[in-house]
Every structure is written in structure tokens, then in C-alpha cells.
Structure 1
Amino acid sequence: MNGSAIDPAILLPAFAAGLLVLATHVPLGAEVLRKGIVFIDLAIAQIAALGVILAGLMEVDPHGWQVQAAAAVAALAGAALLVWTERRWPEVQEAQIGVVFVLAATAGILLLAKNPHGGEHLRDLLTGQILWVGYPQLVVPAIATLLVGAFLWRIAALPRSAFYLLFAIAVTVSVQLVGVYLVFATLIVPALGVRGYRAERRLPLAYAIGAAGYGSGLVLSAAVDLPSGALIVWCLAILAALAHAMAPKRGAERPVNAAR
């Protein structure tokens, strides 16, 4: 273990990036779980990553606005496609989301097949490079977080098409900060860990799991020199499992309206 590698100048911007992702993804993930469309996050994130790959093939600046635009257009197109498939064949929407994910993932593999650095680029898109995020890269995500956050207070009342649109905007930003795998873990794992608690306690506990998972994963990554994205995923999963294990047994906590 290398304690000298734990540099706050590196860890703090990365942790700030994690908090921005958590701000929108925790409530979005709870709604995804409630709606039963768990794989929408993987599908939209993979489509956004496909947009990044296409932008890279056009040799644009990897840190320029064109990459953000390509990811946004791809994610919004994917969201529009899923809205259309749900209206046309609602009974098999989850299966359709899975098919869209597989098609986007394999399209990325095909596009990068002849790129000498394709494997490395694909790995970065999947696992992310959060440990190397700097404060300047957080300006656009912070603005997007504020825009998405303005609608989260009534997320349950949004029509499915508006939810998909909101989801696409949030994922477009986060996939470039933390990668596809961590986007999925941030959305789903905290929501799974708190499902045994009363409704009013779930969101604060999910945020706590997320913040602790990102913080511990980043510190471990710096200390033992292992990929940060993968370690954060495991930290989130372990903390969520512990939270679920400590949840009140069924019937131990009375529902809010049980006293009536």
C-alpha cells in the first residue's frame, strides 16, 4: 500500500465528480427500479459511449464540446428510440432495452476493431477515468446536474417520454466522467441496498451509500494502484449489501399510514 499516492489534489476533483453523478443518479435509479426498466441505464449509457466513439473516429478534440454534443445526440436518439418501442410494443420493453444495449455495445466494438488503441479506448469508456478528472471538466456536468435536478422533485409524475429524455441528459454527462459500468452501479446499487427501509429513509441512505462508496473506492484505488472505477463499483456493492443486511425485518417498521 502506498500512502503517499493518496493526493488530495487528485482525489478531491474525482470525488466532486462522483457527487455530481450521485446527485441525479440516485433518484433516477430509484425511479428506474420502481418502473422495472433496470437496463435502460446500461442501454442509454452505451449509446452515449457510442457517440463518443463516433466523435473520436472523426478526430475531434477528445475534451472539446463536439464530444459532449456527439454523446448527447446519441443518447437523445436512443431515448427517442426507446420511447417509440415502448409505445409500439410495451409488453416487451425490457427485452427491447436489452437488445438496444447489445447493439450499441457491439457497434462500438466493430467501430474500434481496426483502431490500434481501440481496446484501451473501449476500456476507458466502460470503466472510466474518474481518478484523472480535473475541476475544469466539472463545469458542464454541474450545469447539467442543476438542469436535471430542477425536474427531479416531480420525477414520479413525469410521463415516460419526459423521463427518458431527462435520463438521457444525465447519463450523457456521467458516462464521460465515470464510465458505463459505474453509471449503472450508481443508478442501481444504492437503490437496491435501501429497498428494505421506509420510503422517507431510502433517499438519504442511498446518497450515503453512494458518497461512502465513491470516497472509499477512490482512496483504495490511489493506495493500491488499481482501477478506480472497478473499485468504486465493488465498494458500492459491499456497502449496499451491508445496508440491506441491517435493514429492519419485514414488519419491524410500521408503514407511515399504519397508525390510522
Structure 2
Amino acid sequence: MTSGGFDLLIVLPAFLAGLLVLATHIPLGAQVLKRGIVFIDLAIAQIAALGVIIAGSGSLDPHGWAVQLAAGVAAVLGALLLTWTEKRWPEVQEAQIGVLFILAASASLLLVAHNPHGGEHLQDLLAGQILWVNYNQLLMPALGSAVIVAVLAVFGDRLPRLGFYLVFALAVTASVQLIGVYLVFASLIVPSLAVRHYAGRRRLAFAYLTGVGGYASGLVLSILLDLPSGALIVWCLALLAMVVYAVGPKPAAQPA
């Protein structure tokens, strides 16, 4: 087998991880844009990462059930808090989401300040280590993605506020440890931005094509150029999204 073929086999688990993430994040991203709470994904992802850091401070297996549970509990608590703030102060919900994000990010920095490997661990949670994902790590995210896709298919836009936040929290919890905070945000928002003027089923189809193309090209380029996979995927998603938006339908002109 050629070295190129061997490299492609290496990135296959990472590509499958990307497909699992896109399966839930594309429809969730469309709802995020529709609801006008764009930065909720950053906030919830950062809170889930904070849960991982808190659990990791107890010398637990980073891929074990305890850490997964800690990330999930942290994300759900964040979702419940945001549900309450949206009821209490809906006019400043986006600002509250931003404050929650910066508080979680700052808490993460404080918790790893005296850990000799804390900076490396924090970077892994932010930028991700998608290239080193293995097949065993995909089992639970695959089951979770199947449940979330089923819920979204049944309820769609009819999910109540609390239900949406909880589903969102569970989806982000499953993905943040696979791909990192940056890719979580890019996977949710970038494809949906690219297709926002597309109509009907074409919108969903082109969003998935944008996401799949971004992950595939980013992973291949990371092997060829020996550059960080997560960062390259973010850029490939953004560049492909620009092309999809440019060749797509234009918004209707606003009346004078």
C-alpha cells in the first residue's frame, strides 16, 4: 500500500468523527441562526470543556465515563442557566451568552494555571485533536447523534426553548472532546451561514456538502502539509462556504 493510501486510512476515523458531528450540528446550526443566539455554541462548548478540566483534575481517564458525565452535567447546567436567563432577560440574551462564555473560559485558565500540562490540555480542548480520534471513541457519539437526529426529525422547529437548549447541550458535549471548541463553532455556524438564502431541501443538502467538503479537504491538506488538522478544517469550511454562498441565490432586495 502506498504512503498516500496509508495516510488516508489514518484520517478515516477523523473523517467519520466529522460526519457524526455534522449530522447533528448542521440542523442545530440552522436553528441557532433562526433563534438569533449565534454564540450559544461557543458558550456551551466552553462549559463542557470546563467540565472536562474539572473532572481531569482528579486524575481520571480523559476518555472515561466520569469525564464524559462531568462534561455532560456541566453543559446541561449551562443550558438550564441560559433557559432561565432567556426567560428573565430575553432582550440581552446574546450578551448573557457571551458573559457565560468568558466566565467559563477564564475558569478553565485558572484551573490549569498550576498544572504543568495544563496549557497543552487546554489547547487540545480548544483546537481539538481530531486527527488522533480512533474508532473506539466514535461508538458513544454515534449513538448520541442517532438519538439527537431522531429528536430533531420528529420535533424540528417545534422544540420548546428548554428542549432545544438540552438537546444542544448533549450534542456539544459529545462533539467538543472529539473535535474541540473551535471546530464545534465552525461546524454549527459556517455551513448554515453559507446556505441561508437557499430554499427548501437545497439549503440542507448544500449545508451538508459544505461541511463534508470542508472536513475532507482540511484533513487531506493537514496530511500533505503537516499542519494542524482542526485549524485547517476551520479554514477549509470557511473558504468553501464563501464559494457556496457566492454561487447561490441572492437575497431579495429590500424595499426603499
TM-score tier, shorter chain, comes to over 0.9
Q: List gaps (5 residues or longer) in structure 2.
A: none
**Quick one: distance in 2 between partners of 1:251 and 1:82?**
34
The corresponding residue for 1:69 is: 69
Q: Deviations over 1:141-173 (max 9, x none)?
A: 001001111111222001010000000000000
The corresponding residue for 1:39 is: 39
Q: Does the CA-based 8 Å contact 1:5-1:223 persist in structure 2?
A: no
**Quick one: distance in 1 between partners of 2:223 and 2:123?**
19
**Quick one: distance in 2 between partners of 1:14 and 1:228?**
9
**Quick one: distance in 1 between partners of 2:20 and 2:251?**
33
- AA aligned to 2:114 is K
Q: Map residues 58-97 of structure 1 onto 2, 5 A cutoff.
A: 58-97=58-97
The corresponding residue for 1:16 is: 16
**Quick one: distance in 1 between partners of 2:161 and 2:218?**
34
The corresponding residue for 2:53 is: 53
The corresponding residue for 2:140 is: 140
Q: Does the CA-based 8 Å contact 1:46-1:101 persist in structure 2?
A: yes
The corresponding residue for 1:126 is: 126
Q: Deviations over 1:111-155 (max 9, x none)?
A: 011111111111100010000001110000001001111111222
Deviation for aligned residue 1:248: 2.1
**Quick one: distance in 1 between partners of 2:106 and 2:229?**
25
The corresponding residue for 1:115 is: 115
- AA aligned to 2:139 is V
The corresponding residue for 2:239 is: 238
Q: Does the CA-based 8 Å contact 2:191-2:241 persist in structure 1?
A: yes
The corresponding residue for 2:163 is: 162
- AA aligned to 1:40 is I
Q: Does the CA-based 8 Å contact 2:51-2:73 persist in structure 1?
A: yes
**Quick one: distance in 2 between partners of 1:34 and 1:10?**
37
Aligned length: 250
Q: Does the CA-based 8 Å contact 1:185-1:233 persist in structure 2?
A: yes
The corresponding residue for 2:182 is: 181
Q: Does the CA-based 8 Å contact 2:50-2:108 persist in structure 1?
A: yes
**Quick one: distance in 2 between partners of 1:139 and 1:38?**
29
- AA aligned to 1:47 is I
Q: Does the CA-based 8 Å contact 1:6-1:222 persist in structure 2?
A: no
Q: List gaps (5 residues or longer) in structure 1.
A: 253-260
**Quick one: distance in 2 between partners of 1:158 and 1:31?**
10
- AA aligned to 2:44 is I
Task: Determine helix, strand or coil for the equivalent of 1:7.
Answer: helix
Q: Does the CA-based 8 Å contact 2:8-2:220 persist in structure 1?
A: no
**Quick one: distance in 1 between partners of 2:250 and 2:158?**
30
Deviation for aligned residue 1:7: 1.2
Deviation for aligned residue 1:249: 3.1
- AA aligned to 2:8 is P
**Quick one: distance in 2 between partners of 1:216 and 1:207?**
14
Q: Deviations over 1:53-106 (max 9, x none)?
A: 011101101121111111000000100110111111111111100000000001
Q: 4+ runs of 1 displaced by more than 6 Å?
A: none
Deviation for aligned residue 1:179: 0.1
- AA aligned to 2:98 is G
Deviation for aligned residue 1:247: 1.1
- AA aligned to 2:115 is N
**Quick one: distance in 2 between partners of 1:155 and 1:164?**
13
